[in-house]
Amino acid sequence: MESIQAIKQRFGIIGNDAKLNRSIEKAIQVAPTDISILVTGESGVGKESIPKIIHQLSHRKHGKYIAVNCGAIPEGTIDSELFGHEKGAFTGATQTRSGYFEVADGGTIFLDEVGELPLTTQVRLLRVLENGEFIKVGSSKVQKTDVRIVAATNVNMFEAIKKEKFREDLYYRLSTIEINLPALRERKDDIHLLFRKFASDFALKYKMPTVKLADDAVQLLTSYRWNGNIRQLRNVAEQVSVLEHNRSISSATLKNYLPTGAGQNLPAVIKDTKSESDFSNEREILYKVLFDMKSDLNDLKKLTMELMKSGNVSEVEKDNEGLIQKIYGNNEEETVQDVPVLAIPEHREEIVEPVIETEDKYHFAEEIEEEETLSLHDKELELIKKSLERHSGKRKLAAAELGISERTLYRKIKQYDL
């Protein structure tokens, strides 16, 4: 078995951090087996090195090694990429194609960003892990493959499982052994070492002297948070190497290549944890308010129509006492006469037809009807359906939840033919 130091030299891994050494040691130990491995860690920590170590130290080293970035493949084609497809399986499938699992038979597949896989693909992958079987897209023939799977992700898998974006059974099947790579800010002693290595490589590449950091620049470098980890450090080293004429770099110069707030370990931003159910509840409350508004508007229209037909305010007030209280409240001093809508022309006996049919005089009634039909109709119907389903068709409970009478609800059910 090769030593950790020999593996580092062989695969170009820089650093002496204890957590990094432990991760490499685990990779060396599990390499001879066929156990599925899940490599975790933040983006840019170098997770792609672990699968290469595992493959090269395993009995599959003479087989194929295929690295697949699951997040870079469109959802509509990822099944075809991984498992292949038959000719004519979908538009554009002009010939039969072998997928990665068929091509890598006897070797190793590295599934990078496995947390981005669609749920349908996760089901297919679970079958491969359990019994080595898969089916091409558009085929009914079951095929076998002998592939070792190493996956990697920077996603919080337990959070993804909780949100039902990743299958729990697949997670436990993939993470038989989990190897976590530490973030660069947890390897402070390795930061300057890595910068020097990158600076030396770029000096050789661009044929120029190697840049060197002053003591204050080294202190700034090691105290910076490095959210982009090794990838970000490499980019900074390349920028400094190419753009700076002075090969001795001070902290003032280095700050120009770091985002605002460099060198400060700022508090982590807490993500808004407002759940989707909270937004759903807010929508339902809004729909209920709109429904109540429409109900009040319909009641007001009904009252206005009766006044326009009869012209007898006191009689209408007496017959619709409950309705008036619902619309205008229980204030005894506030009567129907106080409401501007009652200031209508005096009823004349000679008018046979209701005045609302006179287009030029009460045309506003038609306009109100048009505006109502924009969206409230659908929302009212949707709320009634939801409430009836929630209470198993019990109208009394549904009416109580919607804030209307059971009689009104019965009329709405009949109106919408529910």
Mean pLDDT of 333-346: 45
pLDDT digits (tens, 9 = 90+) for 49-76: 999 999 999 999 999 999 999 999 998 8
pLDDT score at 375: 60
Residue 392 lies in a domain: yes
Task: Give the CATH number for residue 221.
Answer: 1.10.8.60
pLDDT at 280 exceeding the cut of 70: no
213 bridge partner residues: 249
Name every residue whose Cβ is closer than 8 Å to that of residue 172 and which is 6 or more positions away in sequence.
none
Please check the confidence at residue 270 and state whether its pLDDT lies above 60. Answer: no
**Distance in angstroms (rounded) separating the CA atoms of residues 194 and 163:** 37
What integer is the mean pLDDT of 173-188?
Answer: 95
Give the Cα separation of 376 and 233 in Å (integer).
56
Tokens matching residue 240: 């400094």
pLDDT of 361: 43
**Is the same domain home to 211 and 339?**
no
168 and 210 fall within a common domain: no
Regarding whether 331 and 208 lie in a shared domain, the answer is no
Please report the sign of the dihedral spanned by the C-alpha atoms of residue 11, residue 12, residue 13, residue 16. Answer: positive
How many domains does the chain divide into? 3
Instruction: State which of 127, 147, 182 marks the end of a domain.
Output: 182
Is residue 268 a part of any domain in this protein? Answer: no
Closest of 222, 178, 227 to residue 45, by C-alpha: 227
State the burial class of residue 243 (Cβ atoms within 10 Å of its Cβ: 0-12, 13-18, 19+): exposed
Provide the domain limits for residue 291: 276-416
Residues 164 and 200 in one domain: no
Are residues 69 and 143 part of one domain?
yes
Task: Identify which of 11, 13, 102, 111 has the alpha carbon closest to the alpha carbon of residue 57.
Answer: 11
**Is there a domain that residue 270 lies in?**
no
Q: Are residues 62 and 178 in the same domain?
A: yes
3-state secondary structure of 348: coil
Residues 28, 158 within the same domain: yes
What pLDDT sits at residue 265? Answer: 52
- pLDDT higher than 50, residue 337: no
Instruction: Please answer whether residues 114 and 174 qualify as being in contact, where contact means their C-beta atoms are separated by less than 8 angstroms.
Output: yes
User: Distance between CA atoms of 236 and 387, rounded to whole angstroms?
Assistant: 59
Is the pTM of the predicted complex or chain greater than 0.85?
no
Boundary residue ending a domain (182, 214, 242): 182
Q: pLDDT tens-digit profile of 11-46?
A: 999 999 999 999 999 999 999 999 999 999 999 999
Q: What is the rounded (10 degree) CA torsion for 107, 113, 117, 123?
A: 50
Q: Is 248 within the bounds of a domain? A: yes
One domain for residues 145 and 34: yes
Same domain, 206 and 165: no
Checking if the pLDDT of 335 tops 70, the result is no
Confirm whether 269 is domain-assigned.
no
For residue 364, how many other CB atoms are within 10 A of its CB?
9
Rounded average pLDDT over 328-356: 47
Asked if the structure places residue 82 within a domain, the reply is yes
CATH of the domain at 43: 3.40.50.300
Matching residue, tokens 């599959």: 60
- At 277, the pLDDT band (50, 70, 90 cuts) reads low
Residue 265 lies in a domain: no
Q: Name the nearest CA neighbour of 82 among 13, 9, 145.
A: 145
Predicted local confidence at residue 401, as pLDDT: 82
Among the residue ranges 14-23, 161-170, 288-297, 345-354, the one predicted with the least confidence is 345-354
The answer to whether residue 386 scores a pLDDT higher than 70 is yes
- Is 124 within 8 Å of 130 (Cβ atoms)? no
Say if CB 212 and CB 221 are below 8 A apart.
Answer: no
Do 100 and 109 contact (CB within 8 A), yes or no?
yes
pLDDT digits (tens, 9 = 90+) for 183-234: 999 999 999 999 999 999 999 999 999 999 999 999 999 999 999 999 999 9
Cβ burial 259-298 (10 Å sphere, 16+ → b, else e): eeebeeeeeeeeeeeeeeeeeeeeeeeebbeebeeebeee
Q: What's the pLDDT tens digit per position in 84-115? A: 999 998 888 899 999 999 999 999 999 999 99
Question: Tokens in use for 1?
Answer: 């078995």
20 lies in a domain? yes
Which of 182, 211, 236 is the last residue before a domain boundary? 182
322 in the same domain as 215: no
**Within this chain, do residues 171 and 190 fall inside the same structural domain, yes or no?**
no
pLDDT bucket at 380, cuts 50 / 70 / 90? confident
Q: 180 has which bridge partners? A: 40
Mean residue pLDDT of the chain comes to 83
**Once rounded to an integer, what is the mean pLDDT over residues 328-352?**
47
Paired residues of 108 in beta bridges: 65, 148
The pLDDT, as a whole number, for residue 350 is 47
Task: Report the C-alpha gap between 341 and 323 in whole angstroms.
Answer: 15
Residue 254 has pLDDT above 60, yes or no: yes
Q: Are residues 345 and 234 in the same domain?
A: no
- Per the model's pLDDT, the better-predicted residue between 309 and 385 turns out to be 385
In eight-state DSSP terms, residue 340 is: G
262-284 average pLDDT score? 55
Contact 128, 149 (CB under 8 A): yes
